[in-house]
Amino acid sequence: MSIEALLTALLASTIISSVALTIASLGEAIGESAGLLNLGIEGMMLISGFVGFWAALESNNLWLGFLASIVCGAVAGLIFGGLVVLAQADQVIVGLAMTLAGGGLSGYLFREAYGSNQPLLQGDLGRPLRHLGGGIPVIGPAIIGQKWIVFVTWALVPLVWWLLRRTRFGLEIRAAGERPFAADVAGVDVTRVRLLAAVINGAFSGLAGAALALAELGFFRPGITVGTGFIAIAIAMVGRWDPLRIAIAALLFGLLRSAGTWMQITGVNIRPEFLQMLPYLGVIVAIVILARGTRLPAALGLSYRRGIDRT
């Protein structure tokens, strides 16, 4: 095995395995900035991934699948927002309920639709820049030759930063997450802003589910996310709700996850259990080191009732 082939495999795997995580974490960052702690990302990813897969398979159109996933995620976000913003339900309980419901419903629907069959999607949306990286070792196939979803994910990073830091709506989101009462007094419709943030959060979760099922894997299976949604919540906190930091943290997580496989391939004599523990250990260490002094959005997890709450 050549070093070049191994490095290419490591880098390519690092990048692709960070995609869904980055997208879901960016969505969570928007939600948390508005004061919404969404523990339902996992379930939203699962149900959106299934809906997108079903739509893509039935229509033989991957773009339609992506659209269906995003819409499904947005609807799930609206349900979450409706329950926690309008009905003032506890965010933690609603989020966990959505994770359980999304996992159960996607598994049930998959079984109803396909039984014991495992259909795979035909074709993919391609690698748009592959021709540019032909002669470049490692970087060419591992980065330039990546699937288009990788570049969309990277484009979302500055876009979300711009949304949160450079737009009026972004300022309203942050105000709703820090001082909802003050924002309300200043004329911001906190309910509307939080609902919109929940919908965007859901749409990002839907896109993350589609990135996993439609772009990376080309199929859906019940429970396919295996905890990605929960890792995304940790990554959003490690990244302190800053899109660039989130992208880097997700890449580091992807690197640690891929490094485990890479070390097994190269014959490093370490027990697989330890290697598989690495990425999660990395998240814990990162939270301790990077997020120790982090100040959470002041109103994170708290509901706001106009005329009653004064925080």
- Binding positions for other proteins, rule: CB under 8 A: 1, 5-6, 8-10, 12-13, 16-17, 107, 111, 115-118, 120, 124, 212, 216-219, 221-226, 228, 257-258, 261-262, 264-265, 267, 269, 271-273, 276
For other proteins, the closer of residues 2 and 307 by Cβ is 2
What is the smallest separation between the CB atom of 56 and other proteins, expressed in angstroms? 14
As measured in angstroms, the least distance from the Cβ of 129 to other proteins is 17
CB of 276 to other proteins, least distance (A): 5
Residue with Cβ nearer other proteins (111 or 310)? 111
- Residue (81 or 279) nearer to other proteins, CB: 279
DSSP string, 20-51: HHHHHHHHHHHHHHTT---TTHHHHHHHHHHH
Q: Compare residues 107 and 301 and give the one whose CB is closer to other proteins.
A: 107
Closer residue to other proteins, CB minimum distance, 82 or 104 = 104
CA angle 219-220-223, nearest 5°? 145
Of 10 and 299, which has the nearer Cβ to other proteins?
10
> Residue 304 CB, nearest distance to other proteins (Å)?
37
Q: Which two tokens stand for residue 268?
A: 């490093």
61-74 in b/e form (b: 16+ CB < 10 A) is ebeebbbbbbbbbb
Say how far apart CA 54 and CA 44 lie, in whole Å: 15
Q: Please report, to the nearest 10 degrees, the dihedral formed by the alpha carbons of residues 43, 276, 12, 23 taken in order.
A: 20
Name residue 161's amino acid.
W
Local structure of residue 216 (DSSP, 8 states): I
User: Which residue carries 């982090």 as its tokens?
Assistant: 294
The number of beta carbons lying within 10 Å of the beta carbon of residue 301 is 17
Number of H helices, E strands in the chain: 12, 0
Nearest-approach distance from CB 278 to other proteins, in angstroms: 12
Distances (CA, A) of 235 to 252, 280, 284: 10, 11, 10
Nearest approach in angstroms of CB 36 to other proteins is: 27
